[in-house]
Structure 1
Amino acid sequence: MGTLILSYPPPRNWQDFEQLSKDVAKFKLSGEFENYGRQGQSQDGVDVYGWDKDDINTGLQCKHKGHTQSIAKKIVTTITKKTIDDEIILADKFKPNLKRYIIATTTFRDVEIQNHLHNINDSRKGKELPKIEIWFWEMFEEEINKHTELAYFYYEEILKTFEQYDKDIHILALLKHSLSRPAFNTTFHSENNCDDFLKAISDTQRAFSTGKLYDRDDNLLASSYPAKTLSKQEDRDKINILESLLQKIRNFTTDNLKNGKIEQRKNFLYFPNDWENKISKTLNEDRSQIIDIINTILKTHKIEEIHSHLQ
């Protein structure tokens, strides 16, 4: 992508900003995060929830705000101290208790808001209350410039405008995203729903074949190009292996559901005689191989590798 540092506008709607906040949290905190609840549900001040690399549970509240006109060359934020105080009251009620609470906003840095947060955190020391952080838009720009995938997911046209676009990187960014979901990150005995697992495999196959990535509700998350249109033959050869492994996993899981070697229980999967059948071992090894192969391709293109609990 080169060394040019670009400036990016905030997303136009709150849904895209919430999605961006989730993806930025995954990179910045090196953890696993997901959207929390849905519109209309009580969320106790949390839109995105997860754990960082140190297993610190974290909640994010996403504030998509318009920008007011500048006064004396200073951009005035539309997020207020009261807004922050109100959200903290909600977050303090969240269960399980949060260790970190982040207010993510599309507004720019404001020293008054920063000082307000310093005072809040000082008053909360020694109490069983989460530390409060705020992510202003400048921080989002820094993370987007650091991580190629984010720029390609959300700002493809800007990359093209400034001649920073690379089709191969775009394809690989989408493939990495498709393989960064829990279906490829957790050991198989930790899976609790086989239908969700098979849907994740199917959606990943579709991402490889069409260049379009969907979530479990069939909402389009990102678009690129089919994996087989990568420019290098050696990359395309590895893609063929990955697609074969994905189909193998799908067939293997479906067959063993039918013959009773995988059983869907109320809240978990049960593997009768797994010490003998080695169903979970096989699925863990095949998925680990997928991560190894995609990481080989990513490393060649200088893209950050996938970190998986399977390895």
Structure 2
Amino acid sequence: MGTLILSFPPPRNWQDFEQLTKDVAKYRLAGDFENHGRQGQAQDGVDVYGWDKDDVNSGLQCKHKGHTPTTARKIVTTITTATIDAEILLADNFTPKLDRFIIATTTFRDVDIQTHINTLNDSRKGKGLPKIEIWFWEAFEEGINKHSELAYFYYEEILKQFKQYDKDIHILSLLKHSLSRPAFNTTFNAENNCDDFLKAISDTQRAFSTGKLYDRDGNLLTSSYAAKTLSEQQDRNEIVIIESLLQKIRVFTTDNFKNGNIEQRT
């Protein structure tokens, strides 16, 4: 992306913000994070849940706030201390018990909110309650600027506008994202569903061949270009090797599942 520090507008809807929060958490906390529950389910104050590299578990609550129609930078509403206190009350009763509770918001830094959080943490010390953090939009911008794959995933047009776009980086960023799903990070004997595993392999193969990345429900997450269009021949050769490995994994799993060598957990 170069050395230019860019400003990014918050996502227009809460669904995209929740997805962005999950991805930023993976980088910021160096761990594995997933959406908690689905729309319509009681989530007990937690939208995103996971563990960091130090085995500290965190729950994140996403607060997407509105903006003026003329500029995505101007906040119409701000997060309040009452909202924060209500979400903390839910998080304190979350199962499993949280080590850390993070409120992620599209609003910008507010010293009064920061002071409120600090005061709360002081009063909660030694009580076995999760530590409270708040990520304002500036923290998201910092993460997006630091990790170019996030910028390419969510803000391709802004990169093009400021002449920070590189087609190869865009392709490789999408491929990296496609290989970051749990199917590739979880040991095989810990997989809960063989069909889901095979679907993840299939979706990844499609990302390599078409440049389009879908979630498990078939929704298009983002798109780039087919991996075979990378500019360097060495990169294209390595892509062929990876695609071959993915196909071998898919065939091996399918055959052994059909033969009963791999048993489905119930």
Q: TM-score surpassing 0.5?
A: yes
Deviations 1:237-265 (A, max 9, x none): 00001111111110111111122211213
Deviations 1:16-72 (A, max 9, x none): 000000000000000000111112111110000001111111000000012479xxx
Alignment of 1:1-311 (within 5 A): 1-67=1-67, 78-266=78-266
Aligned to 2:61, what secondary structure does the other structure show?
strand
Structure with max Cα Rg = 1
Task: Find the aligned partners of 1:43 and 1:190 in 2 and give their Cα distance.
Answer: 24
The question of whether the paired residues in 1 share the 8 Å contact of 2:63 and 2:106 is answered with yes
Percentage of pairs with the same residue: 82
Residue 169 of structure 1 aligns with an amino acid whose one-letter code is: I
Gaps of 5+ in 1: 267-311
Return closer, same or farther for 1:139/1:265 CA change in 2, 3 Å cut-off: closer
Task: Find the aligned partners of 1:87 and 1:157 in 2 and give their Cα distance.
Answer: 34
Residue 259 of structure 1 aligns with an amino acid whose one-letter code is: N
TM-score computed with the length of structure 2 as normaliser: 0.96
Task: Find the aligned partners of 2:76 and 2:34 in 1 and give their Cα distance.
Answer: 31
Aligned to 1:264, what secondary structure does the other structure show?
coil
The question of whether the paired residues in 1 share the 8 Å contact of 2:65 and 2:75 is answered with no
TM-score computed with the length of structure 1 as normaliser: 0.82
Number of aligned pairs?
262
Task: Find the aligned partners of 1:154 and 1:37 in 2 and give their Cα distance.
Answer: 23
Aligned to 1:128, what secondary structure does the other structure show?
coil
Deviation at 1:76, TM superposition (A): 7.7
Gaps of 5+ in 2: none
1:307 aligned residue: none
Task: Find the aligned partners of 2:169 and 2:81 in 1 and give their Cα distance.
Answer: 41
Residue 148 of structure 2 aligns with an amino acid whose one-letter code is: T
Aligned to 1:263, what secondary structure does the other structure show?
coil
Aligned to 1:88, what secondary structure does the other structure show?
helix
The question of whether the paired residues in 1 share the 8 Å contact of 2:66 and 2:75 is answered with no
Residue 55 of structure 1 aligns with an amino acid whose one-letter code is: D
Aligned to 2:53, what secondary structure does the other structure show?
coil
Q: Which runs of 4+ in 1 moved over 3 A?
A: 74-77
Question: Please, what is the CA RMSD of the aligned residues?
Answer: 1.4
